[in-house]
Chain A
């Protein structure tokens, strides 16, 4: 049984997770688990109103409570030096001023930290927090997106940037819709969703000296956090250390420096001891961002034989009043299908809530849900098989950029997925398929996610004992980064993975971008590859330059390497090992550091990953309950570095997509501006029995253009489109088109 699950399709010598044993035995140390002498415990007091100001904050009782070391608020905060100058911490695509923690008495959202209690134990801090009395002067707040649609506007940060891709976009003449033979029009809604990784966000902030700060933080962006904190506290970069060696999931919640990080850092400054702060689950809903609620309107026109003529796509999402969060919601619509007339509009409404942020597949997940639902509706309007409709509109090159794809195997994904799933058995007639009492539905959707790549650096050190240490300051939020990097290093150096150790999770390591946007393998993987390649060349050079070596004066081009042994090609007997070369040269170690970044290939090619999901659902007609029975997912993601962890990524993405489709929703009571589903009893993520067998396939793509490793990234495409595939299956099962997620029983009955 277990073998069948874990080793399914695992016929390519995939590596097990290099940190798997540490994780399952509890030996992996997560942020909150570092044992620092003298550590203190912090608990936040948060605002209960959505907008207004604090008129009084009475902390006397709390200060007198047993074990309490300090109560810090805007009244007595040691202050963040950079808060004086605005904006303190600008971040890409999120423009505005990040919340200034304990800076003044203004309230921007319910759940905003207004004070932090520091005590000798967590329990005492927790108790003291309940004693703080805060009084507010309330102002009317706006938290309802639908009620505020009239305020929808092009984001100011887009208006300022003429190169932004979120400007109004028109290709051809979208008015052509009026003359289309077949048309559909629909509005789709997704609610606010929260990442809710199992590990809550946690931090230990430690001022080792008045100008030296160390953070043990759950962050996906190690270097970024280091830079942010250095700027905020006006410290030299090297005086800030950030450590995040293990992360229990994040899905985007760890992409920014959030208020609780600043609160803990300020608290540690005040009490001059390390401060540990762990967010309780309830605060995970207002402290670390969310997927924005989004309302999308789509129209589509096609010829009778199913050739798309027009698509219009308008998206309105929420943001906060103090920052603009924008994401790629409408971009896929311009490139997923070959369609001459396309227009997209992207708008934001600012509300009195905390700023949303990127959540797995940000933008694409939202936009492709609407687009792929609309494609299904169009297929029904055309009375055409939904898969056939997609085939007929396949984009052979990027219709927006007018560039060839660096590689694309969407058609192969359709073919492989459909064959394995048994798509041909589908009877398109709604309510026509049954199993016992259950209504059965088959649905499918395409998926896509852009390829991205950032600057990254890596160091590779060959040691006298034959081990290679490879390093980069990336994080690993769960995809198996350490494992993938080990594989890349081992393959590049022609060594067994057992000889490789990959270090990550510390800001002292060579630069890496944040683990975001499915860029880690493409960016850090490329740097690792380049560094290991350089190391190998250095070893080869050394071998041919060593007078007492059997390879002395050989042309390096005539050499081969296997298992760490260099020999004249075709003549393995003449070889010498890496270790012997070091010894012959009396070298304790050999080290290289290399960098890698995107280049001119981005002007020549359009780069995206593509895939397709096929889903079977059963709907109980008595109760409206939907259960997903089977999923086949297939993607072309360039080179698959390590099949086993890649497969896990795809499974995880599908699980996230099932949650998005059927259960996940953060409901706010707009009278109070507070979430009323802010815990795991009410915010439903799928549990084991909600998840059926998921078959994962990859189409082998050889893509020499994307980056040196040839991998496009996989973390996000795995979830994109899943919700549409489920919703489409529900339609075929029931004849009901539910256009606002999640599809809960109340909407179907």
Chain B
């Protein structure tokens, strides 16, 4: 780990200015990801701008929906009465992530921006285009059991590891960010990028943009939900594949469907086609299966992750069934 300066501004503007002025400065929130990256030599900020003094912890509900401050802790959000009532899918996804101890430190903003867990990214002795553009993708012909089946490029086949983000993608959430030019709202599904030729860029955010809050609209599909996470052990493991499913139904007819997958792409992967397919159709296992198959079109596996071609559709159908409440 390198030596670094540390500041803890009390004002939002000061925090953003600090990053604008200093190209080697970074925000730090819970630190559960960034500190690990620093210890492994993957990030070497010369200045840490601790944002924990900023007033970004609030959880509120208004006519449009739920607004959750970027510094609210994962555990606080998961235990919040309002959130539990309004957005059970988010709660399930949060509780499926990491461990109790980590959730007590992890913030909403930090969770969204956590970096991939690809082992080639993590070992500075191995090639990784995300860490060191141009060095090659170690995973492409290497150990890629955890890797993408959608949206990858020959530069990078890593996946985004967050559980919570999969739920947010499904729930039509938006992210409120602030930069030197002021605030903007970004649709959650637009926030994370596909790797393309620039795998070093995880999101469309500028490096000096600060996440202020997450907005989750109040929609009819918020209650019939399920988060399914398949993993190597019962807790404290990243998803092999995860599915966030949300349904609105009227007399057994699906009026709205929202589905997103984790562990399959460089970003939370929304299944727009499958959603469209389901809308207007009756709740049935066969329809869920068909939707899953539709969602899998274009999927491609590497040496060690072909199992995802089966695990993913199985999980989609199972999550939809659970959301709809059919056995």
A residues near B, CB below 8 A?
A: 48, 66, 110, 123, 126-127, 130, 280, 282, 437, 622-625, 627, 662-663, 667, 669, 671-672, 674, 676-679, 681-682, 684, 686-690, 744-747, 749
Contact = CB atoms under 8 A, between A and B. Distances in A.
Contact of A676 (B2, B142, B238): B142
B237 interface: yes
A679 B315 contact: no
A110 B3 CA distance: 27
Interface stretch (B46-54, B78-86, B116-124): B116-124
Nearest to A679: B122
Given A663-B233, A669-B143, A676-B123, A622 B3 contact: no
Contacts of B241: 623
B123 A687 contact: no
Given A627-B234, A681-B117, A674 B145 contact: no
Interface stretch (B200-208, B264-272, B306-314): B306-314
B122 A744 contact: no
Determine which residue in B39, B41, B232, B314 has the highest number of CB atoms from chain A within 10 A of its CB, and name it: B232
Contact of B233 (A679, A686, A747): A686
A695 B192 CA distance: 48
B123 A674 contact: yes
Contact of B125 (A110, A280, A687): A110
Given A676-B123, A746-B307, A749-B307, A126 B235 contact: no
A690 B125 contact: no
Given A127-B2, A622-B314, A624-B311, A669 B142 contact: yes
B1 interface: yes
Interface string B288-312: 0000000000000000110100110
B231 interface: yes
B234 A687 contact: yes
A749 B310 contact: yes
Contacts of A667: 143
B200 to A, nearest CB: 20
A48 B125 contact: yes
Contacts of A677: 119, 143
Contact of A674 (B41, B125, B231, B311): B125
Contacts, number: 98
Given A130-B1, A622-B315, 15 more contacts: A48-B125, A127-B3, A130-B2, A623-B228, A624-B307, A627-B234, A667-B143, A674-B123, A674-B125, A676-B126, A681-B238, A684-B233, A690-B234, A745-B230, A746-B311
B143 A745 contact: no
B156 interface: no
A747 B304 CA distance: 11
B311 A623 contact: yes
Contacts of B110: none
A686 B236 CA distance: 9
20 contacts: A48-B125, A130-B41, A280-B39, A622-B314, A622-B317, A623-B241, A624-B230, A663-B233, A669-B126, A669-B143, A676-B142, A677-B143, A678-B119, A684-B232, A684-B237, A690-B234, A746-B304, A746-B305, A746-B307, A749-B310
B240 interface: yes
B138 interface: yes
Contacts of B2: 127, 130
Contacts of A746: 145, 240, 304-305, 307, 311
Contacts of B231: 625, 745
B89 interface: no
A671 B145 CA distance: 16
B91 interface: no
B318 interface: yes
B164 to A, nearest CB: 17
A676 B234 contact: no
Contacts of A744: 232
A126 B317 CA distance: 48
Contacts of A689: 234-235
A66 B305 CA distance: 46
Contacts of A682: 117, 119
Contact of B232 (A127, A622, A663, A749): A663
Contacts of B122: 679
Determine which residue in B126, B234, B307, B311 has the highest number of CB atoms from chain A within 10 A of its CB, and name it: B234
A671 B232 CA distance: 25
A744 to B, nearest CB: 6
A625 B315 CA distance: 12
A364 B138 CA distance: 36
A690 B233 contact: yes
A47 B128 CA distance: 18
Contacts of B99: 687
B143 to A, nearest CB: 5
Determine which residue in A66, A667, A676, A687 has the highest number of CB atoms from chain B within 10 A of its CB, and name it: A676
B261 to A, nearest CB: 13
A704 B230 CA distance: 52
A48 B41 CA distance: 14
B71 to A, nearest CB: 24
A677 B145 CA distance: 11
Nearest to A672: B126
A146 to B, nearest CB: 15
Instruction: Across the A-B interface, give the 9 residue pairs with the lowest CB-CB distance, nearest first.
Output: A746-B307, A48-B125, A623-B230, A676-B119, A689-B234, A622-B318, A622-B314, A676-B143, A689-B235
A749 B314 contact: yes
Contacts of A745: 230-232, 240, 307, 311
Nearest to A691: B234
Interface string B236-266: 1110110000000000000000000000000
Given A667-B143, A745-B307, A746-B311, A674 B233 contact: no
Nearest to B120: A676
Nearest to A621: B314
Nearest to B238: A681
Nearest to B161: A681
Determine which residue in A130, A627, A746 has the highest number of CB atoms from chain B within 10 A of its CB, and name it: A746
Contacts of B39: 280
A746 B147 CA distance: 13
A747 B145 CA distance: 11
Contacts of B3: 66, 123, 127
A671 B230 contact: no
A677 B236 CA distance: 15
B276 to A, nearest CB: 24
A682 B237 CA distance: 8
Contacts of A687: 99, 233-236
B126 A674 contact: yes
Interface string B136-166: 0010011101000000000000000000000
A127 B1 contact: yes
A351 to B, nearest CB: 17
Contacts of A123: 1, 3
Contacts of A437: 327
A298 B117 CA distance: 38
Interface in B30-82: 39-41
A745 B125 CA distance: 29
B143 A625 contact: no
B319 to A, nearest CB: 9
A663 B235 CA distance: 12
A749 B138 CA distance: 26
Contacts of A110: 125
Contacts of B235: 687-690
Nearest to B142: A669
Contacts of B230: 623-625, 745
A671 B139 CA distance: 11
A663 B237 CA distance: 11
A278 to B, nearest CB: 13
B275 to A, nearest CB: 21
A473 B152 CA distance: 58
Given A110-B125, A123-B1, A671 B233 contact: no
A747 B1 CA distance: 38
A687 B235 CA distance: 7
